[in-house]
With several copies, the nearest count.
Chain A
Amino acid sequence: MVEDMSNATISETTARLRQSGSVVSVSLSSDSHSAADNSQNDLIMQSVDLQVHYGDFLAVRDVNLAIHKGEITALIGPSGCGKSTIIRCFNRMNDLIPTAKVGGKVFYKGIDLYGPEANAGEVRRRIGMVFQKPNPFPKSIYDNVAFGPRVNGKPTKAETDELVERSLKRAALWEEVKDRLKQSAFSLSGGQQQRLCIARALAVNPDVLLMDEPCSALDPIATARIEDLMAEIKSDYPIVIVTHNMQQAARVSDRTAFFNTEIGANATRPTGVLVEYDTTRNIFANPTDTRTEQYISGRMG
């Protein structure tokens, strides 16, 4: 069941989705929510009324986000506001936490990630993820990159070789490691390890790349390399990035979502909410919400 809903605003679309609860294709009118640049603004992913409980604790609620092709979307906000929680909903990594319960919906190209049509393994292959701390496997550089393709199919040696080279090149790491592919991945520097993890994610040819504070463990030079890399690949792989570094969000992202926490009526612990979601330019230049403004100024001032 596919509906064309051109000219509908996000909130309207959301309202309809709420009613139908079914698989839909959503699109976005180019109003204030449209992309900051002229790239395609096709919707790749969208969350609708997303909320996550850990046990009884409501960690984050009412998140309506749209991820667009060719763009980098940044999630910012104070610690504990649920950024990681949200980004982990986007490729069903939260399935791995037994207490986590996801409410609402996340659509990927019109398919509900949590619906019967979606398989967690497949979701994760399509929607790659890079973590805060570089987490190479205790294997060789080559085997790290080859791991994904191998579990997802039975590539021949030649295919694997080619794929490893292409992925490493894509992650701007090839030149540095091509002579020592058989060495342990732990022999790389932190920044190289993180690029290896990006190469590893790219090797399974994902459609989206999620990054949870990918530079927080890196020095400025390594960070700059990763940022360059993101800018380079974003046309092929839309990126969602969580960052604590507002300068980074301002530098690299096209859209920014600002999250904050608030304590609910009869809750004891604060719950994360999506305060504002707009083009990065708007969020940083003229935020509509005062909380956003305070946060931005407090941190950047």
Chain B
Amino acid sequence: MSTASVSVGELQPSGRKLRQQRSERIIQFLLMIVATSGVLITFGVVFALVRPSVDFFRAISIGEFFGSTAWFPLYEPPDFGVWPLIVGTFSVMLLAVIIAVPGGLAIAFYLSQYASDRVRRKLKPLLEILAGVPTVVFGFFAINFVGPNVAAKIWVFSDVGFYSALSAGITVGLMIMPMMTTLAEDAMAAVPRSLIEGSYALGATKRETCTGVIFPAALSGIIAAGVIAMSRAIGETTIVLLAAGSTANFSFDIGQPMQTMSSFIGFAGLGDQPTGSTGYQTIFAVGLLLFVITFFLNMLSRRIVSKFREVYE
């Protein structure tokens, strides 16, 4: 009977390996530092927006900002009532959502329930291309095609000029439709197959299965997708800048030119406001408002999605 030989320190790494393990601790630390840079960016964004906004609201009262309906910050004398921008933003957003959400849903239904594999394989890349088209190209499309050939033709309530919220809204809607399609498809794919089969087993047709079972089952996912679409539409700058003009009309006639919060920022940026001027600070005040709105929309959609996950678990 012999005793196992004992050598203390036997399970310690030697030389090279030891050095390596030490340097790994440094690597890990460095990685952590880099990983937190994202957090810095967010703080940077918030800080960059808040500081000049504070200056802005020192000069312009919040009451005037939210209490008046004239937005002419770059005129003399300037007006700082943000409502025209809000109305413009929501007009364009609503138009876009009215097109993108049903459109995205319809295409998602078609792709996931109706289309054959062959058709799907051909359609998907087309949608991917559409999803990858830069917004400036959509803007070009808006002023050369959508504006004169669609918006001007379908809007019968007023004269539609070169610039209109309608043209911008339609184009933004077309731009976010592929994204909406993808998100809706994901939501539909998460519906258990057994539910769909349960519906067919009761003699339901494809339509009834789509509207009666898949839609309600995927509803929260679809709503979340819709909310993301909204926030995308609200944040869109270039298309609106090109298609809806630079006049902050306080109007509910979507045939008129309008300005959204994002397109105002882009517009004011074109004209390069002198630092510290009130015109320069408006960029930040409006940016802050835009950031807050999209931040809440994105939080909302995350909430909905996490609720949604619980249902089928």
Contacts and interface: CB of A to CB of B under 8 A. Distances in A.
Whether A and B are associated in the same complex: the answer reads yes
Interface of A: 2, 4, 6, 23, 25-30, 40-44, 69, 91, 93, 96, 98, 108-111, 113, 117-119, 121-126, 128-129, 131-133, 135-139, 147-148, 151-154, 186, 197, 200-201, 204
B60 interface: no
A129 B201 contact: yes
B16 interface: yes
B311 interface: yes
A122 B203 contact: yes
Nearest to B218: A138
Contact of A147 (B196, B197, B199): B199
A111 B11 contact: yes
6 tightest A-B CB contacts, nearest first: A125-B203, A148-B202, A135-B194, A129-B201, A118-B11, A135-B198
Contact of B213 (A43, A124, A137): A137
Interface of B: 1-13, 16-17, 21, 116-117, 192, 194-205, 208, 212-213, 216-217, 219, 311
A136 B116 CA distance: 27
Contacts of B199: 137, 147
Contacts of A42: 2-4
A93 B3 contact: no
A200 B202 contact: yes
Centre residue among B117, B200, B205, B217 by max chain A CB count within 10 A: B200
A232 to B, nearest CB: 21
Given A122-B13, A135-B195, A110 B6 contact: yes
A121 B17 contact: yes
Contacts of A41: 1
Contact of B217 (A43, A121, A137): A137
14 contacts: A2-B8, A25-B4, A27-B3, A69-B4, A98-B117, A121-B17, A122-B17, A126-B11, A128-B201, A135-B198, A137-B213, A138-B311, A139-B216, A151-B212
Contacts of A113: 11
Given A119-B11, A151-B205, A109 B4 contact: yes
Q: Describe A's contact surface by its main secondary structure.
A: loop
Contacts of B208: 151
B198 to A, nearest CB: 4
A128 B202 contact: yes
A122 B204 CA distance: 9
Contacts of B196: 96
B202 A43 contact: no
A40 B194 CA distance: 34
A148 B311 CA distance: 23
Nearest to B5: A109
Contacts of A40: 2
Contact of A91 (B13, B21, B201, B311): B201
A232 B7 CA distance: 28
A6 B196 CA distance: 41
B205 A96 contact: no
B169 to A, nearest CB: 32
Contacts of A201: 201-202
**Which of B4, B17, B194 is the most central at the interface, judged by chain A CB atoms within 10 Å of its CB?**
B4
